[in-house]
């Protein structure tokens, strides 16, 4: 989501970061570039003005002029102000209320409330170990009620039944009574939306809020709506005591403006990011990590946390033991590694969290690495078990059959086998000499300056 904003800010700040001194003109020009970058990212104008003024005021003060590295000091100011604008610190859900704790989901139609309700239920069930129940109060769209029921069944939580024509307040009260009897710890209430803000919707959701007194009222907003997100957020914040915001469709081509605008306009912290279509694709929002990501410094902590959560530890341990015993790394192992990477969101999602990842993503955009990974998995799946175990025995006739079976060309099969050979060589280095030997081997393949000096 932050690729465009990151690229524009990166160009501006790179020019300053190495400066030995900063003049007032330098600060003025940088402030103008900051303003343009934020406006292009669809940040609301009042938020842009406030942000740029805070940066400029600090930059022309002693904080920068007396620094030994003024350019780096300016970069630090921008990062600190980004963190402040995004909320300052991570704020999770209030789970200390008397059960059943009620979470009310609010937002426009199409913002992703129903999907997000399911994602949140799964997170509370798996991460927080809570007994969760879902209920739909969207009595205007039968498909919404059925969608929530299917989502609940998929993630293994109870969904209280509702139907078109019922009163939303009656549904919510009945669901709350059932949650108490069923000893549910959390009840998530999915509400109706409209294509735009109107008085009828606001009155209905205000009545729901008054009837069930939720511990959390989360505003779900599509991050691709840009400045409109700020206007919608203000309308909801004026009628409801919002406790948090969930930004959805962050994995799309949104320009990042919604994240900066909504927090300022509502005063409510952003608590989660919807980063994909899977039920598990919900990330906790960390202002400091997002600020680092925007400035191209990566988000290694989130990558580590995601790796711990999503990587199959049993398979990783088996592979480690296999390599220690000097057993051969085969194509089944190679496929498992690619599947694990897909489970973490693919190459793009991983690069986004690495320092300089935005530049690497831009370089790989034409190559379409996600498509290449999918093609490689299809090729390996088209092989016999013996071929996967002993790839060196794959002959030309075998390669033609594999290509035909996977819907690819023989050249694609040859390319995959070459990539596998390179990966196997690296795995041998790790097994025989550890990471140091691997890094020395990689150093010879990288351009000058890419490897750190010892």
Domains and CATH numbers, the chain: 3-86 (1.20.120.140), 101-297 (3.40.50.300), 303-443 (1.10.260.30)
Please state the separation of Cα 45 from the chain's center in Å. Answer: 25
pLDDT of amino acid 439: 46
Residue ranges for the binding site for GTP?
107-114, 190-194, 248-251
pLDDT of amino acid 447: 41
Q: Please count the other Cβ atoms lying within 10 Å of the Cβ belonging to residue 129.
A: 8
pLDDT of amino acid 174: 95
pLDDT higher than 70, residue 320: no
Place of tokens 């691709």: 224
Place of tokens 């139609």: 109
Name the residue among 196, 370, 377, 353 with its Cα closest to residue 289: 353
The string of pLDDT tens digits covering residues 90-140 is 888 888 888 899 999 998 888 889 999 999 999 999 999 999 999 999 988
The angle, 0 to 180 degrees and rounded to 10, between the axes of the packed helices 227-239 and 199-212 is 50
Nearest-angstrom CA–CA distance, 422 and 441: 11
Radius of gyration of the chain, Cα coordinates, nearest whole angstrom:
26
pLDDT higher than 70, residue 377: yes
The more confidently predicted of residues 78 and 66 is 78
What are the strands of the beta sheet with 244-248, ordered from one edge?
158-160, 132-136, 186-190, 101-106, 216-222, 244-248, 270-274, 282-284
Q: Which tokens hold the place of 15?
A: 């020019």
Q: Where are the alpha helices (DSSP H) in 344-454?
A: 346-352, 357-364, 369-381, 385-389, 396-406, 410-443
Please state the separation of Cα 102 from the chain's center in Å. Answer: 25
pLDDT higher than 80, residue 202: yes
Nearest-angstrom CA–CA distance, 126 and 128: 6
Label the pairing between strands 270-274 and 244-248.
parallel
187: exposed, middle or buried (Cβ count in 10 Å: 0-12, 13-18, 19+): buried
* Residue 186 DSSP label: E
Q: Which residues, at least 6 apart from 411, have a Cβ–Cβ distance to it below 8 Å?
A: none
Whether the ω angle into residue 410 lies within 30 degrees of 0, i.e. cis, is no
Average pLDDT over residues 264-290: 85
Nearest-angstrom CA–CA distance, 234 and 400: 61
Nearest-angstrom CA–CA distance, 375 and 361: 19
What is the signed CA dihedral for 135, 137, 138, 142, rounded to 10 degrees?
60
Nearest-angstrom CA–CA distance, 21 and 297: 23
C-alpha distances (whole Å) from 192 to each of 55, 97, 164, 363 are 40, 25, 11, 42
Strand, helix or coil at 391? helix
Q: What angle do CA 232, 236, 241 make, to 5 degrees?
A: 145
> Do 284 and 271 touch, CB atoms closer than 8 A?
yes
Nearest-angstrom CA–CA distance, 229 and 223: 7
% of the chain with per-residue pLDDT over 90: 25
Q: Which tokens hold the place of 16?
A: 């300053």
The string of pLDDT tens digits covering residues 13-72 is 666 655 556 667 777 877 887 788 787 777 778 888 888 888 888 877 655 555 546 666
How many distinct helices (H) and strands (E) make up the chain? 21, 8
The string of pLDDT tens digits covering residues 243-269 is 999 988 877 655 566 777 788 888 888
Nearest-angstrom CA–CA distance, 203 and 211: 12
Nearest-angstrom CA–CA distance, 83 and 87: 6
pLDDT of amino acid 17: 57
pLDDT of amino acid 64: 54
Nearest-angstrom CA–CA distance, 26 and 357: 27
pLDDT higher than 50, residue 448: no
Average pLDDT over residues 181-202: 87
pLDDT of amino acid 438: 43
The more confidently predicted of residues 433 and 183 is 183
Residue ranges for the binding site?
107-114, 190-194, 248-251
pLDDT higher than 60, residue 359: no
Nearest-angstrom CA–CA distance, 177 and 180: 5
Query: For the whole model, what pTM was predicted?
Result: 0.65
Strand, helix or coil at 61? coil
């Amino acid at each position: 989501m932050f690729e465009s904003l990151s690229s524009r800010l990166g160009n501006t700040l790179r020019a300053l970061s190495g400066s030995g001194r900063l003049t007032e003109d330098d600060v003025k020009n940088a402030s103008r570039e900051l303003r343009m970058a934020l406006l292009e990212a669809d940040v609301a104008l009042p938020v842009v003005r406030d942000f740029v003024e805070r940066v400029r005021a600090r930059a022309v003060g002693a904080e920068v002029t007396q620094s030994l590295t003024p350019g780096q000091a300016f970069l630090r100011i921008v990062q600190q102000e980004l963190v402040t604008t995004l909320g300052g610190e991570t704020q999770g859900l209030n789970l200390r209320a008397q059960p059943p704790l009620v979470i009310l989901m609010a937002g426009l139609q199409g913002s992703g409330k129903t999907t997000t309700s399911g994602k949140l239920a799964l997170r509370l069930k798996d991460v927080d170990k809570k007994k969760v129940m879902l209920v739909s109060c969207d009595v205007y769209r039968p498909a919404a009620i059925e969608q929530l029921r299917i989502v609940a069944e998929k993630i293994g939580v109870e969904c209280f039944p509702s139907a078109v024509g019922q009163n939303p307040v009656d549904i919510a009260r009945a669901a709350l009574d059932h949650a108490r009897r069923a000893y549910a710890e959390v009840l998530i209430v999915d509400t109706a939306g409209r294509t735009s803000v109107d008085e009828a919707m606001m009155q209905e959701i205000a009545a729901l809020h008054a009837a069930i007194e939720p511990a959390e009222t989360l505003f779900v907003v599509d991050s691709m709506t840009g400045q409109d997100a700020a206007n919608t957020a203000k309308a909801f914040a004026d009628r409801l005591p919002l406790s948090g915001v969930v930004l959805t469709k962050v994995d799309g081509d949104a320009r990042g403006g919604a994240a900066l605008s909504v927090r300022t306009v509502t005063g409510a912290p952003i608590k989660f990011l919807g980063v994909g279509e899977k039920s598990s694709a919900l990330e906790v929002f960390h202002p400091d990590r997002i600020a680092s990501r925007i400035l191209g410094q990566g988000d290694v902590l989130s990558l580590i946390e995601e790796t711990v959560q999503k990587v199959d530890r049993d398979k990783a341990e088996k592979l480690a033991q296999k390599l220690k015993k000097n057993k051969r790394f085969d194509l089944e192992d190679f496929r498992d590694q690619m599947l694990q990477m897909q489970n973490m969101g693919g190459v793009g999602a991983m690069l986004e969290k690495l320092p300089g990842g935005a530049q690497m993503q831009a370089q790989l955009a034409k190559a379409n690495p996600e498509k290449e990974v999918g093609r490689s998995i299809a090729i390996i799946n088209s092989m016999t078990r013996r071929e996967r175990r002993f790839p060196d025995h794959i002959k030309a006739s075998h390669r033609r059959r594999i290509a035909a079976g996977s819907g690819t060309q023989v050249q694609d099969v040859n390319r995959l086998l070459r990539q596998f050979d390179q990966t196997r060589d690296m795995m041998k280095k790790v097994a025989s000499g550890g990471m140091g030997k691997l890094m020395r081997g990689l150093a010879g393949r990288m351009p000058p300056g890419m490897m750190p000096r010892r």
